[in-house]
Structure 1
Amino acid sequence: MKHQHLELFRAVMRTGSITGAARLLGMTQPGASKLMAKGEELCGFPLFSRVQNRLIPTERATRLFREAERLFVGMEEINRLVERLRCDGPMRTVVAAIPMIAQEILPQAAADWLAAVDTQLFVTTRDAGGVLAMVTSRNADIGFTMSFRRTPGVRSQLITRSRAMCAMAEGHPLAAKSVITPADLHDEDFISISRHEGQQQRIDDVLTKASARPREVAEMPLIIGAAAMARAGLGLTFADAFSARPWHGQGLVLRRFEPKVWFDYHAIWLAGSPQASNIQSLIAATRTSMIARLQSFDGDA
């Protein structure tokens, strides 16, 4: 496939139709249809199923789109870099972060950091696996994630640890207790958090050891979303000073959980990065912001 075939394919995937893609690219509909047919011929397999005048992407098309999107995003980044160089603009630092860190931690850290460096900041959000992929593929200069497992070629630094607490709606019967134990959670409605990132696994291990089995009514890998569900009365969950902040004191209460469970926050980057100085200064600013938040957090525990 040539660039024009990929460009049309990407436009069809984004708009959902040949007509929409043609309009987006400034082509005629017959011309776009002919070009798409040629693209499928060059691929050697169909990219779309035609169902009642609708184009349904095949599984292969979905996989191709993910790779094509990376290619086009990369080209767009190069074009923006060329423009910055033409205008003698500053370097750009790309940060990949899990949503909670991007929302709750980076704003203040970035404000302090940008006041001291000559760079532009670009932040993108991904799950933990996506953050790692962005860093290892060099699409991000630095990543912020939780519970990072050692990966060849990737350097990591623990920024801080935050105690996980039991979160619930303020009217929940267990809110009357100052300390929650695994036995208290037995048979209670429960919202699980990210098993992919390891947080829920830590909690599961503690509950299993105590033979406590809560009723899992929902799974919400995004911890800040699980806290919102608990606030709405769906059940109990686990959160910390960062993930609970938007809801704490607004219908959500936190109670100390024993035995202690910790959430670990990490920065990750590739060794030999040309932005080593910016990376280290951003890590320092992020750590300062997180520690200040932990010290000022008016928790219930």
Structure 2
Amino acid sequence: MKGVTLQRLQVFCAVYETSSISAAARRMMLSQPTVSRHLLDFEAALKLTLFLRDKGRLIPTEAADAIYDNSRFLDEGITRLQNRVAAIRQGSGMRLAIMSVTLLAPHFVPRAIAQLLQVMPALEVSVNSGTFAQQLALLRNGQADIGVVAGRVAADDIQVERLGHGRMVALIPEDWPLARQDHVELADLRDLPTIRLTARGPIGRVLSDALAERGLSFDRQILGHSLFPAPFLGAALDRAVIIDEFTAHNHPVTGLRQLPLEPELRFDVSAIFRAETGASIAGDTLMQHLRVLLDDWAAGRGRG
């Protein structure tokens, strides 16, 4: 029925139950003129007189009694809906399975989860780490809801949302002359002993591509297949390491000096999830927090 809106119906019910424009206005946190206008518009839409005015009181008519009796279930339904929406916002009955590559697991993912649970305190969360290939397999079989990855990713059935970026840095033995510089270029390491990272990993791929673009190659004696031990290998074997800034920060190793690379080498940080289902409410909220954390990191904030 044209002119009959949910808000006008709610105003009518509040006025009916309180017999007062002012009391209904207080209950609904509206102004008295607004309540009066909605009530008049409701009566006009129905073409019925719903209340008689008697010394400031509103007396329901027979028509008002009939409408109220038949509208209470709507109000109860709205209350149930509002309660359900509140429960959803808090994560009640919801679960989020998160996977992350290891370079983002120590700092960004835990902080994003902590902020997520402040908003959705009833949410159930499971957390795991794994490579892009491992995340892809678990996303496809429904064991993971969202993944956090670094570097270039592509898969026809996976949606990718860029969250931010990271940078590569150089870890140089402190007793090398190169450690006294304020930055390092890849060409500076061409004839020096280094720890080489496998190109099958996202960080190793960034470095491999950068070396290929410049026609450079590094020492091939020591090959690292994971990020975490690479700085320790560099310190123990007196070798330089080119690695991501997150691993360098979260796993500091004595004996190595961290220097920026010039020109800067960046890599993307992204969230991945199944394209056919999209991200859930919890997944979207997690991504929002990760974006803020990555922006703060890039600006030099929140690294404690």
Match of 1:266, SS state, is strand
Q: For residues 15-62 of structure 1, what are the alpha-carbon distances to aligned partners after superposition, in whole Å with 9 as ceiling and x for unaligned?
A: xxxxxxxxxxxxxxxxxxxxxxxxxxxxxxxxxxxxxxxxxxxxxxxx
Match of 1:188, SS state, is coil
Match of 2:119, SS state, is coil
Map of 1:190 onto structure 2 = 194
Give the TM-score normalised by the residue count of structure 1: 0.63
Offset of residue 146 of structure 1: 1.3
Q: Contact 1:166 / 1:180 at 8 angstroms: preserved in 2?
A: yes
CA distance in 2, matches of 1:134, 1:113: 22
Question: Counterpart of 1:278 in structure 2: which amino acid?
Answer: A
Map of 1:201 onto structure 2 = 205
Q: For residues 41-86 of structure 1, what are the alpha-carbon distances to aligned partners after superposition, in whole Å with 9 as ceiling and x for unaligned?
A: xxxxxxxxxxxxxxxxxxxxxxxxxxxxxxxxxxxxxxxxxxxxxx
CA distance in 1, matches of 2:157, 2:136: 11
Map of 2:38 onto structure 1 = none
Q: Contact 2:151 / 2:202 at 8 angstroms: preserved in 1?
A: yes
Map of 1:180 onto structure 2 = 184
CA distance in 1, matches of 2:175, 2:260: 17
Q: Contact 1:141 / 1:273 at 8 angstroms: preserved in 2?
A: no
Match of 1:213, SS state, is coil
Map of 1:111 onto structure 2 = 114
Match of 2:200, SS state, is coil
Q: Contact 2:164 / 2:269 at 8 angstroms: preserved in 1?
A: yes
**Superposed, which structure 2 residues align to 1:106-185 within 5 Å?**
106-117=109-120, 118-185=122-189
Match of 1:243, SS state, is helix
Count residues with an aligned counterpart: 212
CA distance in 1, matches of 2:129, 2:269: 15
Change (3 A) 1:290 1:231: farther
Map of 1:95 onto structure 2 = 98
Q: Contact 1:194 / 1:223 at 8 angstroms: preserved in 2?
A: no
Q: Which of 259, 266, 280 pairs up with 2:270? A: 266
Map of 2:58 onto structure 1 = none
Superposition CA RMSD, Å: 2.6
**Superposed, which structure 2 residues align to 1:244-255 within 5 Å?**
244-248=248-252, 250-255=254-259
CA distance in 2, matches of 1:148, 1:206: 14
1:226 aligned onto 2:217: no
Change (3 A) 1:290 1:298: closer
Change (3 A) 1:102 1:151: same
Map of 1:285 onto structure 2 = 289
Q: Contact 1:166 / 1:237 at 8 angstroms: preserved in 2?
A: yes
Q: Contact 2:172 / 2:257 at 8 angstroms: preserved in 1?
A: yes
Change (3 A) 1:261 1:270: same
Match of 2:299, SS state, is helix
Give the TM-score normalised by the residue count of structure 2: 0.62
Match of 2:179, SS state, is helix
CA distance in 1, matches of 2:144, 2:217: 40
Q: Contact 1:191 / 1:220 at 8 angstroms: preserved in 2?
A: yes
CA distance in 2, matches of 1:223, 1:121: 26
CA distance in 2, matches of 1:125, 1:249: 23
CA distance in 2, matches of 1:91, 1:180: 48
Q: Contact 1:104 / 1:243 at 8 angstroms: preserved in 2?
A: no
CA distance in 1, matches of 2:246, 2:208: 21
Question: Counterpart of 2:98 in structure 1: which amino acid?
Answer: V
Map of 1:217 onto structure 2 = 221
Map of 1:67 onto structure 2 = none
Question: Counterpart of 2:108 in structure 1: which amino acid?
Answer: I
Larger radius of gyration: 2
Change (3 A) 1:298 1:239: farther
Unaligned runs of 5+ in 2: 1-91
Offset of residue 160 of structure 1: 0.9
Q: Contact 1:188 / 1:215 at 8 angstroms: preserved in 2?
A: yes
Question: Counterpart of 2:185 in structure 1: which amino acid?
Answer: T
Q: For residues 252-301 of structure 1, what are the alpha-carbon distances to aligned partners after superposition, in whole Å with 9 as ceiling and x for unaligned?
A: 322122232112211000134376211110011112122223323699xx
Map of 1:36 onto structure 2 = none
